[in-house]
Amino acid sequence: MTFGYALTLTGQLISFSLVLFSVEMLNLSKSDMVRSVWSSKNLIGDLQTGLPLPRFLVSWLSSENTLRQLSIAELIVAVASLLFPSGANFIFLFVVHLLVCIRFRGTFNGGSDQMIFVVLVGTAVAFLFKDERVAKFGLIYIAVQMSYAYFRAGSAKITKKTWLKGQALPSFLLSSPYPGIRSMSIWLIAHPKIAAASSLLVIAFELLVWTSSFSGFLATFFFSGAVAFHFVIYRAFGLNRFFWAWLSAWPSLLYLANYRP
């Protein structure tokens, strides 16, 4: 994959991911959850304690009206970035997305938000610098961060006996809101050898993703596995933003696999 194609694809995927995020956030801002659990009244105390900002800024950031305004701004710029990508656009999206995450005390969407920030930083760098010798480091940064994220997840699992014995995976799937996935979990519990083999496959995948940088074949192989892996997670738990955020990071690794100085 060439640098130009990888950069264009990365920019389009992360922009599309943020279009989805902002649309869902606009819908969520009208829900009872935001008006009650995530209301300004409930959040402002924690934000005032944890943020080194003037009270009027904290009040502005925590308000439901500000959440809607930020979501609209993010939607407009994300759509613009699909058509006219630029470093300035991706910097703006980084700032707005950060404000939304701060509003939710940084815990709203976990791993997908972390990857969104990684991709936005790398994409902004790649678009800001016209010299490809410098710009390429934006994509390399994304590839390294993504590989490390997978490796860290696999390293955490391989130290836990519940994952090695295949007990953790069925328990994880059992928490799905969908009856079909819970039925699969019960089936895995009844077939411990298959559960253990599936768990080891997940661990091996996460630990070995970094080898994708060695060849285009390995990159394509692991990319196919990643699409399947994240799609299963999406279907099991409804984490569509997680799927698109991580998918947007993969062109950088496909580029790195084919990169020759």
Q: What is the pLDDT of residue 110?
A: 59
105 CB burial (10 A radius; 0-12, 13-18, 19+):
middle
Q: What is the pLDDT of residue 108?
A: 52
What is the average per-residue pLDDT within 145-168? 92
Q: 212 is written with which tokens?
A: 């994708």
pLDDT tens sequence across 59-112:
888 888 888 899 999 999 999 999 999 999 999 999 999 988 888 776 555 578
Q: Considering the entire predicted model, what is its pTM? A: 0.88
